[in-house]
Amino acid sequence: MKKLLLFLICGMLWVSSLKAQQTQYMVFEFVKVENDQLFDYIEFKDLMEKVYRQALNDKRIKGWDFWSLQSGADQSDFQYIMVTHYNDPVQMMNGLDEQSMIEYTRIAYPHLNSVQIGKLFQESLKTRDTPMRLYMKEISKTSDNFQMKPGVLASFDLMKAYEGQFDVYEKAESEVFKPIHQRYIEQGMMGHWSLLRTALPLGSEAKSTHLTMNIYKDYMQFFNAQSYEDMNQTDAQRKAVNEGLNSRDQKWVYLATLENVVR
């Protein structure tokens, strides 16, 4: 009996540990580039792909995405979104320090000397500004095997749960909207969906509390999903959807195309 109890406890701990390892943490950096520096920034993102690939090889990150915005609240505020994926919140908060970035640049460009590496790195920093950065934890996602690659389309929906409706909103996303997105995926109208919660403590004045990622393989799939209407939805399901919608404010929707990806 004791052996069985010990086995069950070990099994529960193993499952809990596995679940913790599968939890994703992401940093969203909304990047602004001046018009006269757009060409330089194209070179910068290619440099960053090489640098973050070295960081992936070193197990400092889990992945990195570079998105070009197609639409949003105000495109004069930023034109790109960089998303860095981490295995745990400590890695996410520590990020990659400047010295590590320079060292990874040196590995990516072995033909350059230290002076050239330093100049390349500093020049790349001058081309961009990051007016908004979000630290997020993934709390729900669809079951799929979608592969991220350049050309993929996404909408990043920033939400703010109403005061006192935090749990109601998250329950609605997981129990009402997630199954809808799962059906979309199974019907070939979507690639992936996930719900993220802001990882840092927030006050009532925070602009957003959650973010949903809606991923499509191309514009055809995106527009098919937008025009689809589920005629088999019951009155109870419609009521649940409306209650979920009324628990949050959809602050902004950013439509973006994936240009560079590291996995």
Instruction: Using the 3D structure, point to which of 87, 116, 132 is the last residue of a domain.
Output: 132
Say yes or no: 149 and 73 in one domain. Answer: no
Q: Residue 164 phi/psi, 5° resolution?
A: 80, 0
Domain membership of residue 100 (yes or no) is: yes
| 216 within domain boundaries | yes
Same-domain check for residues 187 and 253: yes
Assess whether 101 and 143 both reside in one domain.
no
The per-residue pLDDT for 15 is: 40
Residue 112 belongs to a domain: yes
9 is a domain residue: no
CATH classification of the domain holding 109? 3.30.70
> Helix or strand or coil: residue 176?
helix
What count of other Cβ atoms lies within 10 Å of the Cβ of residue 220?
11
Contact 261, 64 (CB under 8 A): yes
Show the low-confidence residues of the chain (pLDDT under 50): 2-21
Does residue 228 sit in the same domain as residue 147?
Answer: yes
Residues 127, 141: one domain?
Answer: no
Please, are residues 242 and 163 in contact by the beta-carbon 8 Å criterion?
no
Q: Are residues 126 and 175 in the same domain?
A: no
What local confidence, expressed as pLDDT, does residue 179 receive? Answer: 94
Instruction: Provide the domain count of the chain.
Output: 2
Q: Is residue 4 situated within a structural domain?
A: no
Say which CATH number the domain at 148 has: 3.30.70.100
Look at residues 111, 132, 153 and tell me which one is the last residue of a structural domain. Answer: 132
* Domain residue limits at 80: 25-132
On the CB side of 137, CA atoms within 13 Å amount to 16
6 is a domain residue: no
Structural Rg of the chain based on CA atoms = 21
Instruction: Please give the DSSP secondary-structure letter assigned to residue 60.
Output: S
Name which of 182, 183, 161 is nearest 170 in CA terms. Answer: 161
How far is Cα of residue 227 from the mean position of the Cα atoms in its chain? 25
Q: How many CB atoms lie within 10 A of CB 208?
A: 20
What are the two backbone dihedrals, phi and then psi, of residue 262, each rounded to the nearest 5 degrees?
-125, 120
Phi, psi for 209 (deg, rounded to 5): -120, -20
Give yes or no: residues 127 and 112 share one domain. yes
The answer to whether residue 255 sits within a structural domain is yes
Report pLDDT digits (tens) over 17-29.
344 447 899 999 9
For residue 216, the tally of other CB atoms under 10 A from its CB is: 23
> Which secondary structure element, helix H or strand E, spans residue 7, and what is its range?
helix 2-22
For residue 54, the model assigns a pLDDT of 94
Mention every residue, 6+ apart, whose C-beta is less than 8 A from residue 65. Answer: 81, 82, 83, 85, 148, 258, 260, 261, 262
Residues 195 and 235 in one domain: yes
Residue 140 and residue 247 in one domain: yes
Q: Are 29 and 98 within one domain? A: yes
254 and 165 together in one domain: yes
Chain centroid to CA 38: 23
Is 37 in the same domain as 96? yes
Where is the domain boundary, 86, 116, 132? 132
Query: How far apart are the C-alpha atoms of 79 and 72, rounded to whole Å?
Result: 9
In a domain, 18, yes or no: no
CA pair distance 38, 57, nearest whole angstrom: 29
